[in-house]
Structure 1
């Protein structure tokens, strides 16, 4: 399963400096220095991260 997340800029700031992907409370990946396209949402994705069964997904920016 591919996880994806889209964020829209709110305050005209400089983008997102760090994004953590957490699966069931465990950090499964970290992206840093995510570029912020002018006026466009930031799109991120991660490859297969999920275990069989239930998974709680968090994306923290």
Structure 2
């Protein structure tokens, strides 16, 4: 069992534990936002290309 889970079970989570979890969440959210921006950029490029052909 990880140190984090052990502390969670005994109710002894520290501020550092909470910050580490928040950092992981932030990293996951940033990755998701980056992917969304990438997809939006590809969509715009496709729309422009399509409009020019028409």
Scaled to the shorter chain, the TM-score interval is: under 0.3
Structure with the bigger RCO (C-alpha within 8 Å, sep 6+) is 1
TM-score, normalised by the number of residues in structure 2: 0.20
Bigger-Rg structure (1/2): 2
TM-score, normalised by the number of residues in structure 1: 0.19
The structure whose residues are more often helix, as a share, is 2
The structure whose residues are more often strand, as a share, is 1
